[in-house]
Amino acid sequence: MDAAEKEEISVEDEAVDKNIFKDCSKIAFYRRQKQRLSKKSTYWALLDSVTEGKESTRFQIINEAAKVPLLAEVYGIEGNIFRLKINEETPLKPRYEVPDVLTSKPSTVRLISCSGDTGSLVLANGKGDLKCHITANPFKIDLVSEEEVVMSINSLGQLYFEQLQIPPKQSRATKENEEDTSDDTTQENQEELGLWEEKFRNFVDVKDNGPASIGLDFSLHGFEHVYGIPQHAESHQLKNTSDGDAYRLYNLDVYGYKIHDKMGIYGSVPYLLAHKLGRTLGIFWLNASETLVEINTEPAVKDALTQTGPVAVRQKVRSQTDVHWMSESGIIDVFLLTGPTPSDVFKQYSYLTGTQAMPPLFSLGYHQCRWNYEDERDVKAVDAGFDEHDIPYDVMWLDIEHTEGKRYFTWDKKRFPNPKRMQELLRSKKRKGSTDILHIWNDMNEPSVFRGPELTMQKNAIHHGNWEHRELHNIYGFYQQMATAEGLIQRSKGKERPFVLTRSFFAGSQRYGTVWTGDNTAKWSYLKISIPMLLTLSVTGISFCGADVGGFIGNPKAELLVRWYQAGAYQPFFRGHATKNTKRREPWLFGEEHTRLIQEAIRERYTLLPYWYSLFYSAHLASQPVMRPLWVEFPDEVETFGVEDEYMLGSALLVHPVTEPKATVVDVFLPGSSEVWYDSKTFAHWEGACTVKIPVALDTIPVFQRGGSVVPIKTTIGRSTGCMTDSPYGLWVALSTKGSAVGEFYLDDGHSFQYLHQKQFLHRKFSFASGVLINSCADKRGHYPSKCVVEQILVLGLKKQPSSVTSHSPDGKAQPVAFTYCAKTSTLNLEKFSLNIGADWKVQIQ
């Protein structure tokens, strides 16, 4: 928001005025689809029209009312993905197909036509374990995996396709050509259906192309847990919708958004995941126009009475989730990701839209921001405050007031007479100012237009290529972030990784940088909702995400601020931010005790930087989310499927932030019947598959390390990430029930693309078994010299005190290692040795 607009809104405002924004009843294409679908207008497939091309199988679909055929295309795509496209066979003019979101044209796999029954067609992938069973009348597609139907398309008959028409003024076309207006003769009906014009408040949306909306239903058999379709301030598990209530995907600037609400906010990823025991699926609906998603889950019924003839039979009825997608325009272009594991679905989605960009290392540190730091003296004083209180940080962001009259790429010369000198001061401490060449914040790119309908751009604004804004509204912010990132890479002649933070986003935004959850509020409920919001972003490809620490709007009390720093330290993007009218809240302004607690939380973040960086490499390389809901790591444990108040960082750490005021105890669910979990502070341990009551004081951050993992850390903290390049490492080795552990470590220069082009990186593997810890190479392609050493190893869960510990360096020399053992906590602490992080070595415990 610009300053004038923001100042009109009091920071004490509870939430957004929802009257500014549409609900379903105000959306004409929703009303039209609901009205038409209530009349059950059936489509059927003309299977005698089937043609098998090199890439796809095509056939016509026809509707008994319209009599104008649609063209359906089914593609098999590499990696167990199916694609279904439905378009008009001969549209009056081209319909919008979303470009640039897919990283490249997906490689197709020839689908083999198997003999179906009369009135059906079966297409199988090469291995024959996945099949598309197409039924002609009524038109339906069943996705079959190993003889089990896992998904049905159009089984509820909700396929809807408004074909482009000649505007009424240009042609007095017969009613047969105007299916959608055939029974809408009155002016009142025309207005109600919003065919050529749609009114909202004082705005009129004139539609030169007329009605063009589309819709389709998907039934997920055996599934009752679905996730995804950000961005909403809602639970991680998607809820049932009712008539007049749908998840809205329409990027909007919603200041102080309402929580537990399905209204669209800053970004949209039209991608939904479903999970059940033994199978994860994904549906990626590639459409950038306004989209609504209805969800209906019917849980399993153990004993349902079904009438078969004169006899009632007791029968087990499986659970099912029906998902109904509706978009204002474009074509139906949907990708079905068949898994079967969560990890497979993440890979399938990233194959289409790309993986998370590898971030520069500094961006994983703490960012300090405010709307606005007043002048150069203010910036200097805040920077000095961090040093004085021994709190590390990496980035100082300035908001819009640093500019001259809010014109970007300018400076207010009175307040910032020497911006170069100011940034040199930050750079001398290896910190970043917000206008360093390669680091940019794209704000308000929904786009935010205060005098437009719903505070955004008019839908009939014309873009390049003569496309209306309605066609591509949801990718506007995606394009801004893409252009920014690509421009910055060009500016550095391809040498430096950019850092681009964006508020608006779409599928594929992960390729260009980082997302945050926008204008949240300084309340406990917003701290709590940030966890499911970030988990949802994470499973839909956007690993680098965070929420404004402390809440952007309002004044957090000290306890809330401390708890928010503790949560933020264990979330991917870690930034404190506040709006203009709030009280100052730098970490040292709440008394000595609270300063210490915030300092501890931030320092914990910096301790774990090697682990964070390794996780981001895994996200970049192998599509695995950094922040994971429990069901991703424990897909066979139903108890995890609805958990959203705790999460995994990678596969090794479980975090349960405290999100209630005056909490003295939290209930932490520790999953996995064969797992063991260690408290990261006390080293107390528990077997998995239980809920543990953990006492918490204000200094407690409940974090647990999973048995069987090795977590790399930094043993000393500098004032910024850049000051810690050569500081030593430690390893936290947490033993499984079998006495073993594994972990990985990744290192490169932290800022360039040399890791990619020159293979200048280190990727190491740590493994512990039978009392021996081994450091070996995980990827022989990588080479990166490092002076850094491992100087400390902590082994958790070692049952008995060793008699000796020796280290064996690559040249075969054995050295005794000093150690202390605590029988009470079963921990072994190895110190005062020096083993190169990038070399092969082992440590033997006897």
Q: Which residues are catalytic?
A: 443, 446, 519
Residue type, 588: W
Contact 329, 289 (CB under 8 A): yes
Residue 206 three-state SS = strand
Token pair, residue 442, equals 């794209």
| DSSP at 80 | T
Q: Strands 130-135 and 140-145: what pairing? A: antiparallel
Beta-carbon contacts of residue 533 (< 8 Å; ≥ 6 apart): 230, 231, 232, 233, 234, 517, 547
The owner of tokens 């509707």 is 63
Query: What is d(CA 223, CA 206) in angstroms, rounded to the nearest whole number?
Result: 41
Provide long-range contacts, Cβ within 8 A and 24+ apart, for 645-649. 645/528, 645/531, 646/531, 646/702, 647/531, 647/535, 649/570, 649/611, 649/612, 649/615
| DSSP at 95 | P
Residue type, 143: L
Gyration radius of the chain over CA positions = 28
Q: Phi/psi at 318 (nearest 5 deg)?
A: -70, 155
Q: Phi/psi at 835 (nearest 5 deg)?
A: -120, 130
Contact 606, 721 (CB under 8 A): yes
User: Using CA atoms in the order 135, 139, 143, 146, what is the torsion angle rounded to 10 degrees?
Assistant: -20
Beta-carbon contacts of residue 774 (< 8 Å; ≥ 6 apart): 766, 767, 768, 840, 841, 842
Contact 266, 518 (CB under 8 A): yes
What distances in angstroms separate CA 612 from CA 46, 195, 293, 767, one per listed residue? 54, 51, 34, 19
User: Using CA atoms in the order 101, 107, 109, 110, what is the torsion angle rounded to 10 degrees?
Assistant: 100
CA 87, 93, 98, 100 torsion-angle sign: positive
Beta-carbon contacts of residue 573 (< 8 Å; ≥ 6 apart): 363, 367, 501, 514, 515, 516, 544, 545, 546
Q: What share of the chain is helix, strand, coil (3-state, %, to 5)?
A: 20, 30, 45
Burial category of 846 from C-beta neighbours within 10 Å (exposed 0-12, middle 13-18, buried 19 and up) = exposed
Q: Considering only CA atoms, which of 657, 639, 659, 637 is closest in space to residue 647?
A: 657
Provide long-range contacts, Cβ within 8 A and 24+ apart, for 343-348. 343/623, 343/624, 343/632, 344/80, 344/280, 345/273, 345/280, 345/281, 345/282, 346/539, 346/541, 346/623, 346/624, 346/625, 347/79, 347/622, 347/623, 348/79, 348/80, 348/81, 348/282
CA 467, 470, 475, 476 torsion-angle sign: positive
Query: What is d(CA 336, CA 45) in angstroms, rounded to the nearest whole number?
Result: 20
CA 561, 565, 567, 571 torsion-angle sign: positive
Beta-carbon contacts of residue 308 (< 8 Å; ≥ 6 apart): none
Token pair, residue 87, equals 């378009």
Q: How many CB atoms lie within 10 A of CB 147?
A: 7
Residue type, 142: D
Token pair, residue 388, equals 């004085």
Query: What is d(CA 560, CA 297) in angstroms, rounded to the nearest whole number?
Result: 36
DSSP labels for 256-310? Answer: TPPSS-----S----EEEEEETTEEEEEEE---S-EEEEEEEE--EEEEEEEETT
